[in-house]
Amino acid sequence: MLKKRVIVCLDVKDGRTTKGVKFQNNVDIGDPVEMAAEYYRQGVDELVFYDIIASARGRGPILDLISKVASQVFIPFCVGGGINTIDDIRDTILAGAEKVSLNSPAVKNPGLITEGARIFGNQCIVLGMDVRKDPSKPSGYGTTIHGGRVDTGLDALEWAKKGVSLGAGEIVLNSMDADGMRTGYDIELTRMIAENVPVPVIASGGGGTPQHLADVLKEGKADAALIASMVHSMGYTVGGIKDDLRKSGVAVR
């Protein structure tokens, strides 16, 4: 059985790590380079770096900061935000990322997924999804872009399947309803996507206790759980969370 992964997310705005609730009221919580080094020391399996305002501002990735973060971690490192072209993907990988997360650009230009996967390999292309409950959609969930500010009109399940068929090798599935709430992941959403795509699904949004991770990794069938607040400001360590997961019967790295 493949072991489950614990992934820390750094949301970055104007060069600083930030944290909000449902993408609102963000506060500065530190230097992403120092924080990346600390989580690496704690034994995190992967690191995700999201420039949360790049797409909204219409600019590319902040390569100098990506390079500084990459120099501190020797684990898979995924970068999202402002990656709009093949050149952006190439530059981000050359700056030290192993993977790129495409969210808003993938919706606007689905061919970017296919072309990116062809040139760099499926394992480098992650489909980022910001999903909200929407009773009008067949699956009960719709997708948003630009940090949740724009409704795409796409059904979440349909878009997940299409993204994978285009070449995405992994999905980061963020529940906008649970984001920053610390009340648990959306198990139903995660399980629905995980059961319908042949690639790893990373659950995101809502992690507040180790039990929340255990629930989404077991019941939600996620391959990995993404955390932020728990280690940024709630006193948990990556190692402590992994110990708790093992006690809950979850095989972790």
Instruction: Report the catalytic residues.
Output: 11, 130
- The CA–CA distances, whole Å, from 137 to 20, 117, 133, 162, 190 equal 27, 29, 9, 16, 16
The token pair that represents 187 in the structure block: 């198990």
- The CA–CA distances, whole Å, from 155 to 30, 140, 164, 196, 252 equal 36, 8, 14, 14, 32
